[in-house]
C-alpha cells in the first residue's frame, strides 16, 4: 500500500511539475498576475508530492519491504538502520528520486525566498525549474521507477554493496546532488533573463547567492567523495581522475568561474552574456555528470546500472534541457547589449583571466575524459587517458591560476596599476619562495612547487584584509577595531582562497608520502617515516552482517606509543564480497595509514603509509565551502534583501 | 547482442574479486626490488600502465591477479636494466595503446595534448572579439541629471 | 555606421551559436556510441588485441595437461598449421572460470564439426582441468597448461576465456574476449574460419 502511495505521489509530481512549467511561463508572457502567482504554490505542491514519494520509499526501506524490487535488490533486514535510510540513494532508482526531490526543493526555495524578485522573473525562473523537473520526474516514473513490486517477495534482500555501507558515502550523494542540482537555479535565472531579454547588475546579484550555495555544496560533496575513496578504498590515493570524478569536477570548475563572473556582472554590469552562458554550462555539466555516467558509455569504476535503453532516455532528456537552453542562448543572447568597457589591468580583468584559466582547465578535463570515446568512434582506435595526462596538462594551467588568485583581488575595479599590487605582495612572494626552497631539500620539484603555491595562496588571501585594517601600519587597537568593518563577502573570498591553498598543501604533502609493504609475523617491528610499527595481534571479530579479521598494530615514536590501530578485512557472506578496512590515525599534520593484506605462512602482509598533510586536502575544501557560506551570509547578498539598483557611477562623482 | 555485453561483464568476475574496485594492491613484499632506486622506477612505470581488469586503476594500484603479474614483469625488466621506454613498448606490444595511462604523442592525440594551449587561445580569441565589440554610447544625461551635475560642479 | 556593421553582427551571432553547435556535436557523438553499445559493436571495457594481423608470439613448449597427452609450444602450432593447411582456434580457459562453462557447448559443437581447437589452461591445476573436461567433454585437439600465466600475457590475454583464430600462415586473424555466444560463433567465428580454410 505504502509503495503504491509513493508511486502515485510520483505520478502526481509529474503533473504538478508540468503545470509549474506551463502556467507561470504563460502568465509571464501575458503579464497575467494570477497565473504568475501560481508559480510558488505549484512549486510547493511538487515538493510535497515528491517528499511524500520519497517518504514512501524510505518507509519501505526501513521496514524492509522486500516486495519492492528496489529494496530487495539493495537492502537486507540485518542492515543497520542508518544504511537502510542512506541506502536509498545508493542505487540508481533511489538516487534519481533524491535528485528530483532536491530539484523540487530548488523550485520551492525560489518560491519562498524570491519574493523580492520582479513577478515575471520569479514566474519564469520557477517555470523553467518546473519544466526541468517534469522531465526528470518522468524519467524516474517511467524507466527508473523505484516502486516496482516483486512477487513473490523474497525472504531476504540481496544486500547492498558493502563498500557503500559507510558513513562517509552515506552523506556524500545528498550533498553532492545539492550542489549539482543547486546550479539549476542559476540556469533557470539565465533562461529567464534570455526570455526577458535583459541582464543587468541586479540579475548578477540575484544569481550569485544561489550559485554560491550550490558551489559550496558541490565543493563539500566532492571533498566527501574523495575522502571516502581515501579511507575506504585503501590504496593511499584520494583522486583517480576517473570519469565519474571528472564529471563532478567539471561543474565545479564551471561553477567556480560562474561565482566569479557574476561578481563582474553585479559590480561592473559587464561580462553578462558570458555569465549567462556559464550559468547554462554549469548546470549542463552537472546534468552530464549525474546522468551520462549512468549510461555506461564511459569506462568508469562506478558500476551504476548500465542500461543502454535508459541511456537513450537520458540523452533525449539532456538534449531537450541543454538544447533548449542553448538554442535560446543563440537566439536571444545577441540582443543583450554588451556594456561596460574595461581595462585588462583591473579587478574585472583579473576575474576574466580567472574565468579563462578555470574554463581552460575544464576544457582539458572534458577533452581528456571524452577523448577515448571519440577516438574510438571516429578513428576506431583504443587509447587511454589517465592520471599522468591530467596531472601534466592541468598543472601548467593551475600555476597561473594560483598567481591570479592572489594578484587579482589586489587590483582595484575599472583601472589598476600592477606595481602597487606587486609591492604589497613582495613579502608573500618571499615567504612562498622560502617555503618552496626549503621544501626542495626534502622533496622533488613538484611537491616543492606545491608548498610554495600553498604558502602564496594562504598568505596572499589575507593581504587585502591586512591592508584594509592597516595592520602594522596603524596602532593595533585601531586595526582590530577596523576588523569588524570588513564586509563578510571579503572574509568569504579570503577564506575560500586560503582554503584552496590548504588543499594544495595537502596535495603537495601527499606527493611526498612514504609507504612500505611488509610481510610480518606477530611481534615483528618495522620502521617507516621515523615510526616503529609493531604487529601485536591478529584475530577474528564478529560484526552484524559480516565477519572481520583484524590486525592490531602499535605505532611508537621515540619510545612513546603514538597509536594502536586495527586495520582489517571484512567478509560479507550475503554479498560474497570482501572489503578492506583501512585504519587511519591522524594528528592533522600526517596520517598513519595501515591496510591489512593477505596472510600467508603465518605472516600478514601490511601496507603502511605515512601521508603528510593528507587531511588538509579535505580540510581545505571545507574551508573553501565555509568561505562560500560566509559570502552568502553577507547582508548585501542576502536573498530577499531590499533590491537596489547597482551603485551608479554618478553617485561617487 | 545485449547478452554478449552481460557475458562480458561476467568475464571480469573470476579475475577481479570485487566488482566495484575495492581490491587493494598488496603485492608480496618479496616481489619488490631490493634497490630502492629501481623499485621507485618500477613504481613510476607501473603508475603509467592501466590495469586491464579493473581498467580505471594503474597496475600499481590494482589488486587484480593480472596486475600483480604485470607488476612483477615490470620489476624483472627494470632489474634487467631495460629503459622505461623499452618496458612500456613491451606492454604496448601485448595490450596496445590502451595500456598506457599517458597516451603517446601521435597524430591521433595531437588535439588532446594541445587542448590546454587551444583552450587558452580560444579564451583569448573570445576576449579579443568581445573587446572589439562596439558598445552603445552612454545615454545622454537627462535634464534632472544635468541639473544635478550643475549643482555638483557649483558646490 | 560603416558597412562593416552587418558582417560584425553576423559574426557575433555565429560566435554565440558555437556553444549550441558544440553541444549538438557532442550529443550526436554520445548518441552514436550509445547505439553502437546497444548493438554490441562498442564495449567500453573491451580491450582490442594488438596481435590481430600479426604472427603468433613465440613460446617454448608448455607442460601437458596430464602425462597421457603432450603439451605444445609455438613451434608445434606452426607445424600443425603447415601440415594441415587449415586454421586453428586457440582457446584460453580455466576450470575456475564460470564464463568458460557458458562457452563450452559452443566449443564442443565446433570441435564436433571438425574445427581444430587447441586449448591453453590459464593458471589452472592439472587435476581440476582434467576433471572439468572429463565431466563436460573435451573439445581440445591439443591441450597445454600455462601455469604462471606468462605465455598468456605474451598473447595479450586479460581474462579468460579468450579465443584466437590462427590462419595457416601462423597469423592471428581473429580475437574474441569473453565467452563465445552461439551468435558470435555463427556470425563471426565460422565465416572467418571458412575464409581462411
Length of chain C: 197
Q: Mark yes or no for CB contact C158/B3 under 8 Å.
A: no
B20 and B93, same structural domain?
Answer: yes
Q: What is the DSSP letter of A90?
A: G
Q: How far apart are CA B55 and CA B67, in angstroms?
A: 10
pLDDT beyond 80 at A369: yes
Mean pLDDT within A152-165: 78
Residue B152: burial class (beta carbons within 10 Å; 0-12, 13-18, 19+): exposed
Q: Is the peptide bond before A152 cis (omega within 30 degrees of 0)?
A: yes
Mean pLDDT within A614-636: 91
Mean pLDDT within A489-495: 92
Residue B29: burial class (beta carbons within 10 Å; 0-12, 13-18, 19+): middle
Residue B1 lies in a domain: no
Mean pLDDT within A632-647: 54
Q: Mark yes or no for CB contact A315/C30 under 8 Å.
A: yes
pLDDT beyond 60 at A158: yes
Label residue A640 by pLDDT band (50, 70, 90): very low
Residue A593: phi and psi, rounded to 5, are -135, 120
Q: What is the average pLDDT value for chain B, to the nearest integer?
A: 77
Least trusted range by pLDDT, from A369-378, B136-145, C88-97: B136-145
Q: Mark yes or no for CB contact C29/A377 under 8 Å.
A: yes
Least trusted range by pLDDT, from A482-496, C28-42, C49-63: C28-42
A311 or C89: whose pLDDT is higher?
A: C89
pLDDT beyond 90 at A355: yes
B39 and B11, same structural domain?
Answer: yes
B78 in contact with chain C, both atoms CB, cutoff 8 A = no
Q: Mark yes or no for CB contact B7/C161 under 8 Å.
A: no
Q: C-alpha grid cell for residue A123?
A: 514566474
In the block, cell 554549469 appears at A282
Least trusted range by pLDDT, from A87-91, A446-450, A634-638: A634-638
CA separation (Å) from A220 to A22, A354, A620, B59? 34, 22, 10, 30
Mean pLDDT within B79-92: 94
B16 and B72, same structural domain?
Answer: yes
Label residue B64 by pLDDT band (50, 70, 90): confident
pLDDT beyond 70 at B1: no
B15 and B85, same structural domain?
Answer: yes
B132 and B61, same structural domain?
Answer: no
pLDDT at C65: 66
pLDDT beyond 60 at A643: no
Mean pLDDT within A405-434: 89
Mean pLDDT within C71-96: 92
Mean pLDDT within B42-57: 87
Nearest CA in chain C to A280: C19
Least trusted range by pLDDT, from A99-113, A166-180, A462-476: A462-476
Residue B76 lies in a domain: yes
B31 and B77, same structural domain?
Answer: yes
Q: Mark yes or no for CB contact A360/B116 under 8 Å.
A: yes
Q: Where do the DSSP E strands lie in A487-640?
A: 514-520, 525-528, 531-542, 547-557, 560-565, 568-572, 577-581, 583-586, 590-600, 603-612
Mean pLDDT within A11-25: 96
CA separation (Å) from A523 to A535, A549, C104, C183? 5, 17, 50, 58
Q: What is the DSSP letter of B49?
A: B
pLDDT beyond 80 at A414: yes
Q: What is the DSSP letter of A648?
A: P
Q: How far apart are CA C183 and CA C167, in angstroms?
A: 22
Least trusted range by pLDDT, from A2-11, A472-481, B129-138, C8-17: B129-138
B122 and B92, same structural domain?
Answer: no
> Residue C37 is nearest to which of A281, A308, A334, comparing CB atoms?
A308
Q: C-alpha grid cell for residue B112?
A: 588532446
Most confident stretch, A328-337, A449-458, A470-479, C135-144: A449-458
Query: Residues of A near C (CB-CB distance < 8 A)?
Result: 273, 277, 280-281, 284, 292, 295-299, 308-309, 311-312, 315, 318-319, 322-323, 326-327, 329-330, 333-334, 370, 373-374, 376-377, 382
B28 and B70, same structural domain?
Answer: yes
pLDDT at B17: 28
Label residue B139 by pLDDT band (50, 70, 90): low
Specify which residues A580 forms β-bridges with.
A569
- How far apart are the CA of B2 and the nearest CA of chain C, in angstroms? 6
Mean pLDDT within A278-295: 88
C152-163: pLDDT as tens digits: 999 999 988 999
pLDDT at B27: 57
A266-275: pLDDT as tens digits: 888 888 999 9
Q: Mark yes or no for CB contact C153/B73 under 8 Å.
A: yes
- How far apart are the CA of A193 and the nearest CA of chain B, in angstroms? 20
Q: What is the DSSP letter of A334?
A: G
- Alpha helix (H) residue ranges in A380-412: 387-407
B97 and B137, same structural domain?
Answer: no
pLDDT at A73: 81
pLDDT at B119: 96
Q: How many CB pairs under 8 A join A and C?
A: 71
pLDDT beyond 60 at C179: yes
pLDDT beyond 60 at A234: yes
Mean pLDDT within A470-483: 82
> Residue C178 is nearest to which of B8, B53, B95, comparing CB atoms?
B8
Q: C-alpha grid cell for residue A119?
A: 513577478
B33 and B92, same structural domain?
Answer: yes
- A-chain residues within 8 Å CB-CB of B57? 240, 301
pLDDT at A467: 82
CA separation (Å) from B51 to A389, A551, A589, B29, B119? 16, 28, 32, 20, 30
Q: What is the average pLDDT value for chain C, to the nearest integer?
A: 87
Nearest Cα to Cα of residue A538 among A524, A547, A549, A527 = A549
In the block, cell 584594509 appears at A468
Q: C-alpha grid cell for residue A118?
A: 520582479
Label residue B25 by pLDDT band (50, 70, 90): low
Mean pLDDT within A330-354: 84
Q: How far apart are CA A636 and CA B29, in angstroms?
A: 60
Q: How far apart are CA A244 and CA C66, in angstroms?
A: 47
pLDDT beyond 90 at B151: no
Label residue C67 by pLDDT band (50, 70, 90): low
pLDDT beyond 80 at B5: no
Nearest Cα to Cα of residue A165 among A58, A81, A72, A57 = A81
B95-117: pLDDT as tens digits: 999 999 999 999 999 999 999 99
Q: Mark yes or no for CB contact A323/C23 under 8 Å.
A: yes
Q: How far apart are CA A216 and CA A44, in angstroms?
A: 24
Least trusted range by pLDDT, from A328-342, B43-57, B64-78, B135-149: B135-149
Q: List the domain boundaries for chain C.
A: 1-44, 74-195
pLDDT beyond 50 at A644: no
Q: Are A531 and A592 in contact (CB under 8 A)?
A: yes
End-to-end CA distance of chain C: 77
CA separation (Å) from A61 to A7, A17, A57, A341, A637? 15, 26, 6, 58, 40
Q: Are A345 and A411 in contact (CB under 8 A)?
A: yes
Q: How far apart are CA A129 and CA A106, in angstroms?
A: 8
Q: Are A536 and A553 in contact (CB under 8 A)?
A: yes
Q: Mark yes or no for CB contact C29/A374 under 8 Å.
A: yes
A173 or A338: whose pLDDT is higher?
A: A173
- How far apart are the CA of C147 and the nearest CA of chain B, in angstroms? 12
Residue B91 lies in a domain: yes
Q: C-alpha grid cell for residue A635?
A: 547582508
> Residue A597 is nearest to which of B24, B47, B61, comparing CB atoms?
B24
Residue A649: phi and psi, rounded to 5, are -60, -25
Label residue A219 by pLDDT band (50, 70, 90): very high
Specify which residues C174 forms β-bridges with.
C165
> Residue C45 is nearest to which of B4, B55, B92, comparing CB atoms?
B55
A502-559: pLDDT as tens digits: 999 999 999 999 888 888 999 999 999 999 999 999 999 988 878 899 999 999 998 8
- B-chain residues within 8 Å CB-CB of A301? 20-21, 54-57
Which range marks the domain in which residue B23 is found? 7-104
Distance between alpha carbon B71 and the CA centroid of its chain, in Å?
20
Domain end, chosen from B104, B122, B137, is at: B104
Name the class of domain C74-195: alpha beta
B94 and B40, same structural domain?
Answer: yes
Q: C-alpha grid cell for residue B19?
A: 566488482
Mean pLDDT within A407-418: 86
pLDDT at C3: 38
pLDDT at B155: 65
Domain count of the fold of chain B = 2
Amino acid at each position: 500500500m505504502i509503495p503504491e502511495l509513493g508511486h502515485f505521489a510520483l505520478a502526481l509530481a509529474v503533473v504538478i511539475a508540468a503545470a509549474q512549467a506551463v502556467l507561470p511561463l504563460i502568465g509571464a508572457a501575458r503579464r497575467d498576475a494570477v497565473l504568475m502567482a501560481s508559480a510558488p504554490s505549484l512549486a510547493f505542491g511538487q515538493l510535497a508530492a515528491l517528499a511524500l514519494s520519497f517518504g514512501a520509499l524510505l518507509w519501505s526501506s526501513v521496514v524492509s519491504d522486500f516486495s519492492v524490487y528496489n529494496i530487495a535488490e539493495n537492502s537486507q533486514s540485518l542492515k543497520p538502520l542508518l544504511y537502510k535510510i542512506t541506502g536509498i540513494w545508493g542505487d540508481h532508482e533511489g538516487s534519481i528520486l533524491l535528485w528530483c526531490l532536491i530539484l523540487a526543493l530548488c523550485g520551492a526555495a525560489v518560491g519562498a525566498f524570491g519574493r523580492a524578485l520582479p513577478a515575471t522573473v520569479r514566474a519564469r525562473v520557477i517555470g523553467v525549474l518546473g519544466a526541468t523537473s517534469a522531465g526528470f520526474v518522468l524519467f524516474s516514473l517511467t524507466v527508473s521507477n523505484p516502486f516496482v513490486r516483486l512477487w513473490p517477495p523474497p525472504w531476504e534482500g540481496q544486500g547492498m554493496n558493502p563498500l557503500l555501507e559507510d558513513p562517509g558515502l552515506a552523506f556524500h550523494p545528498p550533498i553532492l546532488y545539492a550542489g549539482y542540482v543547486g546550479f539549476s537555479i542559476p540556469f533557470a535565472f539565465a533562461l529567464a533573463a534570455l526570455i526577458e531579454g535583459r541582464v543587468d547588475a541586479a540579475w548578477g546579484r540575484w544569481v550569485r547567492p544561489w550559485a554560491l550555495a550550490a558551489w559550496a555544496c558541490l565543493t563539500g560533496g566532492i571533498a566527501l567523495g574523495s575522502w571516502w575513496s581515501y579511507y575506504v578504498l585503501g590504496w593511499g590515493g584520494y583522486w583517480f581522475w576517473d570519469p565519474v570524478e571528472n564529471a563532478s569536477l567539471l561543474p565545479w570548475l564551471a561553477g567556480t568561474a560562474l561565482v566569479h563572473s557574476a561578481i563582474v556582472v553585479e559590480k561592473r554590469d559587464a561580462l553578462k552574456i558570458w555569465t549567462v552562458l556559464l550559468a547554462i554550462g554549469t548546470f549542463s555539466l552537472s546534468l552530464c555528470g549525474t546522468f551520462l555516467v549512468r549510461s555506461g558509455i564511459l569506462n568508469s569504476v562506478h558500476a551504476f546500472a548500465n542500461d543502454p535503453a535508459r541511456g537513450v532516455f537520458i540523452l533525449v532528456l539532456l538534449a531537450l534541457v541543454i538544447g533548449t537552453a542553448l538554442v535560446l542562448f543563440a537566439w536571444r543572447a545577441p540582443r543583450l547589449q554588451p556594456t561596460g568597457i574595461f581595462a585588462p589591468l583591473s579587478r574585472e580583468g583579473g576575474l576574466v583571466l580567472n574565468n579563462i584559466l578555470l574554463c581552460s582547465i575544464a576544457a582539458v578535463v572534458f577533452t581528456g575524459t571524452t577523448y577515448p570515446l571519440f577516438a574510438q568512434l571516429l578513428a576506431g582506435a583504443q587509447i587511454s587517458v589517465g592520471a599522468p595526462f591530467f596531472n601534466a596538462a592541468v598543472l601548467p594551467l593551475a600555476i597561473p591560476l594560483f598567481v591570479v588568485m592572489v594578484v587579482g583581488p589586489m587590483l582595484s575595479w575599472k583601472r589598476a596599476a600592477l606595481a602597487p599590487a606587486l609591492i604589497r605582495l613582495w613579502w608573500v612572494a618571499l615567504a612562498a619562495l622560502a617555503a618552496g626552497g626549503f621544501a626542495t631539500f626534502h622533496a622533488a620539484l613538484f611537491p616543492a612547487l606545491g608548498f610554495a603555491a600553498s604558502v602564496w595562496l594562504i598568505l596572499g588571501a589575507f593581504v587585502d584584509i591586512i591592508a584594509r585594517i592597516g595592520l602594522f601600519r596603524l596602532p593595533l587597537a585601531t586595526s582590530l577595531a577596523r576588523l569588524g568593518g570588513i564586509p563578510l563577502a571579503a572574509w568569504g573570498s579570503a577564506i575560500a582562497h586560503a582554503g584552496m591553498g590548504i588543499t594544495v598543501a595537502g596535495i603537495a604533502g601527499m606527493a611526498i608520502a612514504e609507504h612500505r609493504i611488509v610481510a610480518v609475523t606477530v611481534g615483528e617491528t618495522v620502521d617507516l617515516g621515523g615510526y616503529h610499527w609493531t604487529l601485536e595481534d591478529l584475530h577474528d571479530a564478529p560484526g552484524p552482517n559480516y565477519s572481520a579479521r583484524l590486525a592490531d598494530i602499535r605505532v611508537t615514536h621515540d619510545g612513546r606509543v603514538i597509536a594502536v590501530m586495527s586495520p582489517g578485512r571484512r567478509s560479507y557472506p550475503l554479498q560474497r564480497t570482501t572489503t578492506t578496512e583501512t585504519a587511519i590515525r591522524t594528528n592533522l599534520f600526517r596520517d598513519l595509514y595501515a591496510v591489512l593484506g593477505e596472510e600467508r605462512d603465518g605472516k600478514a602482509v601490511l601496507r603502511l603509509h605515512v601521508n603528510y598533510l593528507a587531511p588538509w586536502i579535505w580540510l581545505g575544501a571545507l574551508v573553501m565551502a565555509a568561505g562560500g557560506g560566509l559570502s552568502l551570509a553577507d547582508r548585501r547578498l542576502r536573498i530577499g534583501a531590499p533590491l537596489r539598483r547597482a551603485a551608479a557611477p554618478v553617485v561617487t562623482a | 547482442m545485449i547478452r554478449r555485453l552481460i557475458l562480458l561483464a561476467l568475464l571480469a568476475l573470476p579475475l577481479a574479486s570485487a566488482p566495484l574496485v575495492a581490491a587493494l594492491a598488496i603485492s608480496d613484499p618479496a616481489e619488490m626490488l631490493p634497490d630502492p632506486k629501481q623499485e621507485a622506477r618500477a613504481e613510476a612505470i607501473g603508475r603509467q600502465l592501466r590495469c586491464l581488469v579493473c581498467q580505471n586503476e594503474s597496475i600499481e594500484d590494482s589488486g587484480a591477479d593480472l596486475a600483480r603479474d604485470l607488476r612483477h614483469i615490470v620489476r624483472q625488466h627494470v632489474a634487467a636494466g631495460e629503459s622505461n621506454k623499452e618496458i612500456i613498448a613491451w606492454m604496448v606490444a601485448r595490450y596496445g595503446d590502451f595500456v598506457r595511462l599517458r597516451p603517446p604523442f601521435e597524430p591521433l592525440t595531437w588535439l588532446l595534448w594541445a587542448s590546454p594551449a587551444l583552450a587558452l587561445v580560444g579564451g583569448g580569441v573570445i576576449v579579443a572579439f568581445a573587446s572589439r565589440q562596439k558598445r552603445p554610447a552612454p545615454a545622454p544625461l537627462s535634464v534632472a541629471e544635468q541639473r544635478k551635475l550643475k549643482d555638483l560642479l557649483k558646490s | 555606421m560603416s558597412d562593416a556593421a552587418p558582417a560584425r553582427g553576423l559574426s557575433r551571432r555565429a560566435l554565440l551559436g558555437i556553444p549550441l553547435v558544440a553541444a549538438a556535436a557532442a550529443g550526436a557523438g554520445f548518441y552514436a556510441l550509445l547505439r553502437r553499445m546497444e548493438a554490441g559493436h562498442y564495449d567500453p571495457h573491451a580491450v582490442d588485441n594488438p596481435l590481430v594481423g600479426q604472427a603468433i608470439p613465440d613460446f617454448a613448449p608448455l607442460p601437458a595437461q596430464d602425462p597421457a597427452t603432450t603439451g605444445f609450444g609455438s613451434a608445434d602450432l606452426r607445424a600443425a598449421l603447415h601440415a594441415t593447411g587449415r586454421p586453428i582456434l586457440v582457446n584460453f580457459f580455466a576450470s575456475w572460470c564460470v564464463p568458460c562453462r557458458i562457452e563450452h557447448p559452443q566449443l564442443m559443437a565446433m570441435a564436433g564439426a571438425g574445427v581444430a581447437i587447441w586449448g591453453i589452461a590459464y593458471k589452472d591445476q592439472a587435476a581440476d582441468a582434467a576433471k572439468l573436461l572429463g565431466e563436460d567433454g573435451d573439445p581440445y585437439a591439443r591441450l597445454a597448461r600455462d601455469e604462471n600465466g606468462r605465455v598468456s600475457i605474451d598473447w595479450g590475454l586479460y581474462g579468460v576465456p579468450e579465443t584466437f583464430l590462427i590462419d595457416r600462415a601462423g597469423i592471428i586473424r581473429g580475437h574474441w574476449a569473453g565467452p563465445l555466444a552461439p551468435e558470435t560463433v555463427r556470425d563471426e567465428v565460422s565465416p572467418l574460419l571458412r575464409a581462411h580454410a
